[in-house]
Structure 1
Amino acid sequence: MKFDDYARSYEGLHKSSIAASGEDPAYFHDYKIECLRRRGILEGPLLDYGCGTGNLLERFARVLDEVHGYDPSAESLREAKERAPSATLHSEIDSLPRGHFALAVLSGVLHHVPTRERRDVLERVRASLRPGGRIVVFEHNPLNPLTRRAVAMCPFDDDAILLWPWEARRRLRAAGFRRVSLDYIVFFPKPLAFLRRFEPHLHMLAIGAQQMLIGERAAAP
């Protein structure tokens, strides 16, 4: 997928693909920030790996002193710089500092990575984390039929290979992460927003539209 082709139209295409939820993309970006905050792991230095046009990066930069974003799409990074001018941006993966970050977030990234390359991506992210640092992976949940429908309708997801939850957890462990947890998130569309207060208690139900995995880099002996 060449995201340079979609950088300027990303917001509109994303909004169209999630129309069934009744929400705009900002709701889901804020939702993810709240997931991190609720678990007490929103800390820096932070790496937004696959930051795209900077929707999450912008929010991280509002609350953290040191935020980095990586994306191979130059056009997307130009958009990200406008949204988060204080962030340090990287277009080359080798420019990421090693052993530096307290938290690395991959939001909707891995399903665009060819399956044979996923372990390499996760190992590179692990190398960028300090001992005890955490990785958080947000991914679509293919067990949810509405999620599969939204992905099928989204032009920039035409190369997507969704990760089954058990596969995602296995891949994090294989890449060297420990204490890997899996939660399901995003359950109710806007017409049922009055039920959203119960969502934190539903995290083990595999019908959530998204999955959230957390892993930890082992501390140095």
Structure 2
Amino acid sequence: MTEHKAEFDSYSQDYKNLVNQSVNFSGLTVDFFTKGKANFLNAFLENEQDYKILDIGCGTGEIHAFLRNDQSNITGVDVSAESLKIARINNPNNKYISYDGYNLPFEDNTFDMALTICVMHHVSPLQWQHFVNEMVRVVKPQGRVFIFEHNPYNPLTRLAVNRCPFDKDAVLLRSKKVECLLNETNLITCKSDFIFFTPFKHSLFQKLDKLLSWLPLGAQYCTHGRKKGS
């Protein structure tokens, strides 16, 4: 991911506009998808307070403002120093750290939750397993891991990726591949939920999304699970 550092630095100021342009055929903005993923995470945070949360490849930290307000212990890491500058301005109470995109600068078993949002398709396939291993390593036993990615089986997702300038070299991963990577650690029991079946914000359609989460046709998916141990 370090090879993308300069590229993401150059896109940091215009990130939202570029994503909005790539999805404007849907009538939606990036905030629709950001809030949707935050709602997905918040459902798991409902009975938890002040989790230590790590966001890997956090970019400008867009999702952090939408997480439950009792989750104030958030750390973000990214290879793009320029993106982190914006994240610090937008979320001054959080901690943002630059890293090399390979080894996470944290001790084993540090965080209650680690998440990464549409980052792995920017990582070299040769490094996918190491990326997941590092993610699992820094999570405490019984902690949670969440990997959000674009669904390559959804044609509208492929259209949006093809229209996005910083996704030009993206290698999309199937949910089964992410499950295999997590299972390979022997520390995570995981499943995949598919999200964004409809472009509508009404709660009725959000309920429909939940009912269809097993169907591998949503625009994105989240592969997630708990780390074994006690």
User: Which TM-score band (shorter chain)?
Assistant: over 0.9
For the pair 1:175 / 2:185, whether they are aligned, the reply is yes
Q: Which residue of 1 aligns with 2:27?
A: 22
Q: How do 1:134-213 residues align onto structure 2 when only pairs under 5 Å count?
A: 134-190=144-200, 195-213=205-223
For the pair 1:219 / 2:229, whether they are aligned, the reply is yes
* Deviation, structure 1 residue 193: 8.1
Q: Which residue of 1 aligns with 2:90?
A: 83
> Deviation digits for residues 54-101 of structure 1, max 9, x if unmatched?
101333484412110010110010011011111111112443243111
Give the number of aligned pairs.
Answer: 220
For the pair 1:98 / 2:108, whether they are aligned, the reply is yes
For the pair 1:107 / 2:123, whether they are aligned, the reply is no
Identity of aligned residues (%): 31
* Deviation, structure 1 residue 195: 3.4
> Deviation digits for residues 26-75 of structure 1, max 9, x if unmatched?
11111111112224466610001110011013334844121100101100
Query: Which AA in structure 1 matches 2:9?
Result: D
For the pair 1:53 / 2:63, whether they are aligned, the reply is no
Q: Which residue of 2 aligns with 1:10?
A: 15
Q: Give distance in 2, aligned partners of 1:62 and 1:39.
A: 14
From 110, 114, 121, the equivalent of 2:131 is 121
Deviates more, 1:193-202 or 1:146-155: 193-202
For the pair 1:31 / 2:41, whether they are aligned, the reply is no
DSSP-derived class of the 1:90 partner: strand
* Deviation, structure 1 residue 196: 3.5
Contact 1:50–1:107 (CA under 8 A) maintained in structure 2: yes
Where structure 1 has 5 or more consecutive residues not aligned to the other structure, the ranges are none
Contact 1:103–1:133 (CA under 8 A) maintained in structure 2: yes
Q: Give distance in 1, aligned partners of 2:179 and 2:56.
A: 18
Contact 2:151–2:172 (CA under 8 A) maintained in structure 1: yes
Query: Which AA in structure 1 matches 2:148?
Result: F
Relative to the length of structure 2, the TM-score reads: 0.89
Q: Give distance in 1, aligned partners of 2:129 and 2:171.
A: 15
Contact 2:42–2:68 (CA under 8 A) maintained in structure 1: no
Contact 2:53–2:73 (CA under 8 A) maintained in structure 1: yes
For the pair 1:68 / 2:75, whether they are aligned, the reply is yes
Contact 2:150–2:172 (CA under 8 A) maintained in structure 1: yes
Q: Give distance in 1, aligned partners of 2:25 and 2:141.
A: 41
Contact 1:102–1:134 (CA under 8 A) maintained in structure 2: yes
Give RMSD over aligned pairs: 2.0
Where structure 2 has 5 or more consecutive residues not aligned to the other structure, the ranges are none
